[in-house]
């Protein structure tokens, strides 16, 4: 679940190491405020006691995306702070904080401020509140068959699996919405090629809707013609896990199953980022057209994914007609008719026919920045200067004036997958900042805009004609609602991914097309 994990960790470092949370203790716990000068805003938090060693700010500016950042301590002012820009009279900021007092962590109330209005700070009320406070924690999932008669409801399957927030165990969802712990005893319910597998799937003739509690590290698995074959296993420490589909393994039991999936986590009420994080994904493959709709309290309603206006056959044909020749094989045998695979699951793997597809571009980048600086600014992190020393791309600066690295020349596969040198904390002044820089650079290379930082977040500038780039990813942007798609692991850089978050979800609908 790399894609959703990286997205949620970037949004709030809550998913995999939850601290004990409580409401703010009293009106004397802290003071806070928003100030602005010379076009830059400062959000600050001053704890009343000495037991606070870290503070996270959660804020949005003028209704924009929620930012979630660890604040830095300003000893001169005696408070924690983070900056944002631009900020001028009339700029609206909605915000709250998560902070520790010893081992326990607390969420503040939610606040609003308008720069220049005198509303830039108050003492906190005794109890918190804010949007989503009436959410029950229950979310209803709907699975819709829109295959035009190609697949009967009895041949459309779905399963929800994930981790129970209370126990940390892997679970599957039963027909009543209960979270049932996985067990190796479940293997054998299905058999293929002499091997036993679980059957955590329901078909639409049996069940179309289910209401579930919060669930961590989750997937909704969808297939047609057959359920998927999932095996429960035990690791060396005795922990239960499961083996899903491996589309690079020609003998995998799911290699001849039409399947797709969504990634998600539903955080319980009261967590700083309560609600749902969910997305469709083309990072690994395309199985069939899939549309995701999320509805919530206060009228929230957003849809992403394929439009369902194109048939599956039309998508296959369009892919082969529009991508460069190196990519057409991704939609041909042995992958078709079951899927269109992502480049680094096929011929773009190191050592394969297209394993060096991006190497000319990568080498040109490394050569250029041996002799000049790459200068770019990241929201909330500051301005950085990068220079290649040997084969190491060294970045300096930012708000913390640190040093960060890409520790070598990456391969085509590392760029497409966002792994290896692009998921490497080695040597960092701040691991979070280094990983963010690596994600930005990986995304810019995928989109062939690395040398022009002003175009990093300008979607029309991405994928210039005739250049080496991730044309697989571009195709999905061209064929998805609002041009949002996860075509590679860091496609959320610049907010171009189909990632939905609301803190009070009521209904989630996955519609399967054909």
Per-residue pLDDT of the chain in tens (514 residues, 90 and over written 9) = 344 444 443 433 333 232 333 333 333 578 888 888 777 788 998 888 777 888 888 888 887 777 878 788 777 677 888 888 888 777 888 888 888 877 666 778 778 888 765 544 433 332 223 357 799 999 999 999 999 999 999 999 999 999 999 999 999 999 999 999 999 999 999 999 999 999 999 999 999 999 999 999 999 999 999 999 999 999 888 899 999 999 999 999 999 999 999 999 999 999 888 999 999 999 999 999 999 999 999 899 999 999 999 999 999 999 999 999 999 999 999 999 999 999 999 999 999 999 999 999 999 999 999 999 999 999 889 999 999 999 999 999 999 999 999 999 999 999 999 999 999 999 999 999 999 999 999 999 999 999 999 999 999 999 999 999 999 999 999 999 999 999 999 999 999 999 999 999 999 999 999 9
Q: Which long-range contacts (CB under 8 A, 24 or more apart) does 126-133 make?
A: 126/24, 126/26, 126/27, 127/23, 127/24, 128/23, 128/24, 128/96, 130/96, 131/298, 131/503, 131/504, 132/269, 132/274, 132/275, 132/297, 132/502, 132/503, 132/504
Whether the Cβ atoms of residue 308 and residue 513 lie closer than 8 Å to each other: yes
Residues 6+ apart with CB under 8 A from 282: 342, 472, 473, 476, 485, 486, 487
Q: Which of 117, 99, 19 is nearest to 55 (CA)?
A: 99
Element (H, E) at 434: helix 431-446
pLDDT at 41: 84
pLDDT at 14: 30
Q: Extract the tokens encoding 263.
A: 């990634």
* Residues β-bridged to residue 171: 162, 181
pLDDT at 108: 80
Q: Which of 483, 384, 474, 478 is nearest to 438 (CA)?
A: 384
Element (H, E) at 71: none
The answer to whether domain 139-309+485-513 has CATH 2.60.110.10 is yes
Q: Which fold has domain 25-114?
A: Immunoglobulin-like (2.60.40)
Q: Which long-range contacts (CB under 8 A, 24 or more apart) does 371-374 make?
A: 374/450, 374/451, 374/453
pLDDT at 312: 99
Whether the Cβ atoms of residue 164 and residue 182 lie closer than 8 Å to each other: no
pLDDT at 218: 97
- Peptide bond before residue 337 is cis, with ω within 30 degrees of 0: yes
Whether the Cβ atoms of residue 423 and residue 404 lie closer than 8 Å to each other: no
* Residues β-bridged to residue 140: 211, 507
* Residues β-bridged to residue 47: 30
- The CATH 3.30.920.50 portion of the chain extends over 359-467
Q: Extract the tokens encoding 20.
A: 């004990």
- Peptide bond before residue 194 is cis, with ω within 30 degrees of 0: no
What sign for the dihedral angle of Cα 93, 95, 101, 103?
negative
Q: Which long-range contacts (CB under 8 A, 24 or more apart) does 100-104 make?
A: 100/19, 100/51, 100/52, 100/53, 100/54, 100/55, 101/25, 101/29, 101/47, 101/49, 101/51, 101/52, 102/51, 103/19, 103/20, 104/19, 104/20, 104/21, 104/22
pLDDT at 129: 31
Please state, in angstroms and rounded to a whole number, the distance separating the CA atoms of residues 223 and 66.
34
pLDDT at 13: 32
Residues 6+ apart with CB under 8 A from 140: 209, 210, 211, 212, 506, 507, 508
pLDDT at 319: 99
pTM listed for this prediction: 0.76
Strand positions, DSSP E, 449-489:
none
Rounded to the nearest 5 percent, the helix, strand and coil shares of the chain are 20, 35, 45
Please state, in angstroms and rounded to a whole number, the distance separating the CA atoms of residues 429 and 402.
5
Q: Which of 491, 254, 249, 276 is nearest to 346 (CA)?
A: 249
Q: Specify the CATH superfamily of domain 359-467.
A: Beta-1,3-glucanase, C-terminal domain (3.30.920.50)
Element (H, E) at 263: strand 258-267
- The CATH 2.60.110.10 portion of the chain extends over 139-309+485-513
């Amino acid at each position: 679940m790399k894609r959703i994990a990286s997205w949620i960790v970037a949004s709030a470092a809550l998913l995999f190491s939850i601290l004990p949370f409580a409401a703010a203790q009293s009106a004397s716990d802290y003071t806070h405020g928003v100030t602005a000068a010379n076009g830059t805003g400062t959000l600050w938090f001053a704890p009343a006691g000495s037991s606070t060693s870290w503070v996270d700010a959660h804020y949005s500016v003028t209704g924009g995306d929620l930012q979630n950042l660890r604040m830095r301590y300003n000893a001169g002012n005696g408070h924690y702070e983070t900056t944002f820009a631009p900020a001028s009279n009339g700029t609206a900021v909605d915000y709250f904080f998560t902070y520790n007092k010893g081992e326990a962590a607390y969420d503040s109330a939610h606040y609003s401020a308008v720069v220049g209005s005198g509303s830039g700070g108050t003492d906190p009320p005794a109890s918190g509140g804010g949007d989503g406070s009436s959410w029950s924690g229950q979310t209803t999932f709907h699975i819709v068959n829109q295959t035009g008669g190609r697949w009967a409801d009895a041949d459309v399957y779905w399963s929800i699996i994930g981790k129970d927030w209370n126990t940390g165990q892997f679970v599957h969802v039963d027909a009543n919405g209960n979270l049932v712990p996985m067990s190796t005893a479940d293997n054998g319910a299905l058999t293929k090629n002499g091997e036993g597998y679980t059957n955590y799937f329901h078909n639409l003739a049996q069940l179309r809707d289910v209401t579930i509690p919060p669930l961590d590290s989750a997937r909704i698995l969808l297939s047609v013609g057959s359920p998927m074959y999932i095996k429960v296993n035990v690791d060396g420490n005795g922990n239960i896990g499961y083996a899903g589909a491996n589309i690079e393994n020609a003998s995998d039991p799911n290699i001849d199953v039409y399947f797709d999936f969504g990634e998600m986590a539903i955080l319980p009420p009261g967590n700083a980022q309560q609600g749902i994080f969910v997305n469709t994904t083309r990072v690994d493959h395309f199985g069939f057209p899939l549309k995701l709709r999320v509805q919530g309290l206060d009228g929230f309603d957003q849809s992403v994914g394929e439009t369902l206006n194109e048939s599956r056959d039309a998508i296959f044909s369009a892919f082969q007609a529009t991508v460069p020749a190196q990519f057409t094989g991704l939609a041909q045998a042995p992958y078709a008719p079951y899927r269109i695979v992502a480049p680094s699951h096929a011929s773009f793997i190191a050592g394969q026919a297209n394993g060096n597809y991006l190497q000319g571009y990568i080498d040109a980048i490394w050569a250029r920045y041996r002799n000049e600086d790459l200068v770019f600014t990241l929201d909330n992190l500051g301005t950085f200067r990068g220079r290649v020393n040997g084969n190491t791309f060294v970045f300096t600066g930012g708000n913390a004036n640190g040093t960060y690295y890409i520790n070598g020349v990456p391969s085509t596969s590392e760029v497409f997958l966002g792994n290896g040198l692009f998921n490497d904390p080695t040597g960092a002044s701040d691991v979070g900042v280094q990983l963010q820089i690596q994600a930005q650079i990986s995304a810019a290379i995928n989109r062939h805009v690395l040398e022009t930082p002003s175009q990093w977040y300008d979607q029309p500038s991405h994928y210039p004609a005739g250049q080496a780039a991730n044309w697989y990813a571009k195709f999905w942007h061209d064929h998805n609602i609002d041009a949002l798609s996860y075509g590679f692991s860091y496609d959320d850089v610049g907010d171009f991914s189909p990632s939905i978050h609301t803190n009070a979800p009521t209904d989630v609908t996955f519609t399967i097309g054909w």
